């Protein structure tokens, strides 16, 4: 089976990219192509126009500014993993990027592509939510809690381009992932971030979309120890089930990964 024909564009700035998105019938942005190209090969996506944002210099790079880190949308996972400034202030994010997929995926895949795609098993959404980040686009700024809206869906509107993500630097943070043995994707991933007495816990892989666990956040805010999580469970009812891992297995893995993340930090 072949991909449908499409017109390829490689604009030099986001304005030109936005103009193609507005004009073309069914245009799609392509970043690393790691998710989009396989879905085109399967004809799950058949855009009329592909807008490659890989030549837009403004969409590249990591900036650590005081208590914030801005990661531009086209920064690859390998670049995030290797960034010395990030490793100093927010090593949990560099570690997360270093654990994504395999070397080829890390060299091509991007932060913007990952969060726009909103794969339920993607790692980045958990960091974006746990670190109370803000997603910046060509049109507005979107709080993390409002960005991920469901299975492969986000608050992004047609023609809106993610330009980067502004992360708050926590006192400490850790991402623990139960890796899918074949792809590296998260069967369950738990990102725990502590800033002062505020703790945020975000879970990916388990449900149709990233979610927080208020009971864990409350317990950890009172006592930041693995023991504080004793007896706290997430209901399996809303979790995903597939031939490899049942919803009950995923629910248990959330509790285990959360305890491991806290134990690593406490
Ligand atoms: C074998 C394999 C293993 C993987 N393992 C993991 C893993 O362990 N953890 C993990 O988190 N991910 C994993 N991934 C996903 C990967 O890391 C990429 O993040 C993901 O494929 C999307 O990024 P991309 O840059 O390739 O986006 P693309 O495939 O180019 O685009 C994806 C979607 O996002 C849209 N888009 C891209 N950039 C923007 C933007 N700036 N603004 C708005 N929309 C945009 C595109 O139009 C498209 O709809 C894996 C992928 C593969 C193929």
Ligand 1 pocket, mutate which of 14, 40, 52, 117 (most atoms under 8 A from CB) = 117
| Cβ 115 vs Cβ 162: under 8 Å | yes
| All domains of the chain in start order, with CATH | 7-52 (3.30.43.10), 59-168 (3.30.465.10), 172-265 (3.30.390.50)
User: Which residues are within 8 A (CB) of 121 and not within 5 positions of it... i.e. 6 or more apart?
Assistant: 180, 183, 185, 186, 187, 204, 205
Could you identify the atom of ligand 1 that is nearest to the CA of residue 108? 26
Residue 66 is predicted with a pLDDT of 86
**Nearest residue to 176 via CA among 112, 123, 114, 224:** 123
Report the pocket of ligand 1 as residue ranges, CB < 6 Å.
28-36, 53, 73, 77, 100-101, 105, 108-110, 112-114, 116-117, 122-124, 156, 161-162, 183-185
Q: How far is the C-alpha of 214 from the C-alpha of 1, rounded, in Å?
A: 46
Q: What is the pLDDT of residue 1?
A: 56
Q: Average pLDDT for consecutive 10-residue bins of the chain (266 residues)? A: 85 96 93 96 93 97 93 98 96 98 97 98 98 98 98 96 98 97 95 97 97 98 97 95 95 98 96
**Dist. CA 151–CA 10, nearest whole Å:** 29
């Amino acid at each position: 089976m072949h991909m449908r024909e499409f017109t390829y564009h490689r604009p030099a700035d986001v304005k030109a990219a936005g103009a193609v998105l507005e004009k073309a019938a069914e245009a799609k942005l392509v970043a690393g192509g790691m998710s989009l190209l396989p879905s085109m090969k399967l004809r799950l996506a058949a855009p009329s126009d592909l807008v490659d944002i890989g030549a837009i210099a403004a969409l590249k790079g990591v900036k650590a500014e005081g208590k914030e880190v801005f990661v531009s949308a086209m920064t690859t996972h390998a670049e995030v993993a290797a960034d010395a400034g990030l490793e100093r202030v927010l090593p949990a994010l560099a570690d997360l990027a270093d654990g994504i997929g395999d070397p080829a995926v890390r060299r091509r895949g991007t932060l913007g592509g990952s969060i726009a795609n909103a794969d339920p098993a993607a790692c980045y959404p958990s960091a974006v939510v746990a670190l109370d980040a803000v997603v910046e686009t060509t049109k507005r700024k979107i709080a993390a809690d409002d960005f991920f809206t469901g299975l492969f869906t986000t608050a992004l509107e047609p023609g809106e381009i993610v330009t980067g993500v502004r992360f708050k630097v926590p006192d400490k943070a850790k991402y623990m992932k139960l890796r899918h043995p074949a792809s590296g994707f998260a069967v369950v991933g738990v990102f725990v971030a502590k800033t002062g007495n505020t703790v945020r816990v975000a879970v990916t892989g388990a449900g149709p979309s990233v979610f927080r666990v208020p009971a864990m956040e409350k317990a950890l805010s009172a006592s930041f120890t693995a023991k504080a999580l004793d007896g706290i469970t997430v209901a399996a009812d809303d979790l995903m089930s597939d031939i490899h891992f049942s919803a009950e297995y995923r629910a248990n893995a959330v509790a285990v990964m959360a305890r491991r993340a806290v134990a690593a930090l406490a």
